[in-house]
Amino acid sequence: MEHFFVNTAHALVAWLTGLGLAPGWADLILLVVQWIAVIIIVILNITVLIWLERKVSGFIQQRLGPNRLGPFGMFQTIADAIKLLTKEDIVPSQTDRMIFKTAPMVFIIISVMLYVVIPMGDGMEIVDLNVGLFYFISIGSLSTIALLMAGWGSNNKWSLLGGMRSVAQMISYEIPLAFSLLGVVMITGSLRMSDIVAAQSNIWFVVLQPIAFITYFISATAELNRGPFDMPEAEQELTSGAYTEYTGMRWALFFLAEYTNLVAVSALMATVFFGGWQGPWLPSWLWIIIKTYLILNVFFLIKWTFPRIRMDHLMSFSWKFLIPVSLANILLTGAGIEVLMRMGW
């Protein structure tokens, strides 16, 4: 079971080259197959996740959550999806049509691109980039463009405010996010994901870098526009923020992309701080799924426990607290590495 997916991929390439295809073309076809697999897994996973979030929110508020459709209400998301697919598609007349229509597509494409560098098991990265972590951070911060496009293209004051808030939030929280990952990079000496996983074979980085983990967790929540930091779609103030004018499937694409981002960030957190796919007894791809789901549940827990904080508090929390703390963490890590090296480790 351990190398099931890797062996399947090798068998596919061997079969294709056996048919008389050049190795380059076989690799290209394998890449396409991997992409389709990622997209299918992402979409199927999200139907489960939305159900899970509704259940978790129910349990936190002493409710039952959906329980009428299927076992434990698991088919609720399918009913929602059918309804959203058949809703009327409204494009308001005063919008910037091009930008309005492309914004959801840009968002979902960017969030699926994040999965390229995440190791989903032993040797199961789609591309093992030597700047993997850097790629993840830079692509992850692009999603704000989609929100700004949605806000600007809708030609609606709430949407524009939501888009602008998303930009302000992203600029502020991108810095502690990158800085907190720097501590891990300093210890590993590499931005490659497989190196970061390999460096955790003895001890997880959440033990060596607890401050970095906490700052990363907070700023990742803000980057995902989730939980107590969901300012871009603050319902009490901005109706639905950047998504106000979107109907049916266009709105559902935004929702899908947000969850895709969430899963990607949780998987990255499992990879960087919790030993990635490493673990005893079970196959590696099962371990990363277990860890990702546990982290996702913490995200759900935080979202449904804390109230939304105010915009100016959000900004000052980032600039006055998180950035100094993450800078201090870098200093501490550097000093620690220096001292340990002098001691002859």
Partner 1 sequence: MAVNNHDEEILAKNNIIVTTFEKLWNWGRSRSFWPLSYGCNCCPIEMMASGAARFDIARYGYEVFRAASRQADVLVVAGPITAKMKPAVERVWAQMAEPKWVVAMGNCAVSGGPFVDGYSVLPGADTIFHVDVYIPGCPVRPEAPFQGLLELKKKVEKQ
Instruction: Return the biggest CA–CA distance within the chain.
Output: 70
SS3 track for 312-340:
HHHHHHHHHHHHHHHHHHHHHHHHHHHHH
8 Å CB contact between 275 and 200: yes
Cβ pair 34, 6 in contact under 8 A:
no
Closest approach, Cβ 258 to partner 1, in A, equals: 14
Interface residue with partner 1, options 10, 31, 63, 72 (CB under 8 A): 63
Question: Whole-number minimum distance, CB 255 to partner 1, in Å?
Answer: 10
Q: 117, 118, 56, 131: which is closest to 274 by C-alpha? A: 118
Q: Which of 269, 325, 311, 321 is nearest to 293 (CA)?
A: 269
Q: Tell me the H-state helices in 19-89.
A: 23-60, 76-85
How many residues at the interface with partner 1, by CB under 8 A?
Answer: 36
With CB under 8 A as the contact rule, which of the stretches 63-71, 186-194, 260-268, 312-320 interacts with partner 1? 63-71
Asked if 97 interacts with partner 1 (CB under 8 A), we say no
Pick out residues in 132-161 that bind partner 1 (CB under 8 A): none
Closer to partner 1 by CB, 3 or 87: give it. 87
- Is residue 68 near partner 1 by the rule CB under 8 A? yes
CB of residue 79 to partner 1, shortest distance in Å: 4
Question: Residue 68 or 313: which CB sits closer to partner 1?
Answer: 68
The Cα 152–Cα 164 span in angstroms is: 9
CA–CA dist 201, 122 (Å, integer): 13
307: contact with partner 1 by CB under 8 A: no
76 lines the binding site for partner 1 (CB under 8 A): yes
Token pair in block for residue 168? 């302000």
Please report how close the Cβ of residue 87 comes to partner 1 at its closest, in angstroms. Answer: 5
Taking CB under 8 A as the criterion, the residue among 21, 79, 99, 109 binding partner 1 is 79
Chain mean position to CA 85: 24
Please give the residues from 20 up to 59 whose contact with partner 1 meets the rule CB under 8 A. 54, 58
Q: Which residue, 46, 6, 45, is CA-closest to 283?
A: 6
Query: Residues 62, 93, 94, 202: which binds partner 1 (CB under 8 A)?
Result: 62
Q: Which is nearer to partner 1, 54 or 303 (CB)?
A: 54
Measured from the CB atom, the residue of 83 and 320 that comes closer to partner 1 is 83
Region binding partner 1 by CB under 8 A among candidate stretches 1-9, 73-81, 209-217, 218-226: 73-81
91 is a contact residue toward partner 1 (CB under 8 A): no
The nearer residue to partner 1, 192 or 226, going by C-beta atoms, is: 226
Angle between helical axes of 157-188 and 132-153 (0-180°, round to 10): 180
Token readout for 96 is 């910037």
Residues 243-272 close enough to bind partner 1 by CB under 8 A: 243-248, 251
Q: Return the SS3 of 188.
A: helix
Q: Does 303 bind partner 1 (CB under 8 A)?
A: no
Q: How far is CA 107 from CA 118, 199, 250, 260, in A?
A: 19, 33, 11, 10
Does 81 help bind partner 1 (rule: CB under 8 A)?
yes
- Binders of partner 1 among 221-240, rule CB under 8 A? 235-236, 239-240
Which residues sit at the interface with partner 1, rule CB under 8 A? 54, 58, 61-69, 73, 76, 78-83, 85-90, 235-236, 239-240, 243-248, 251
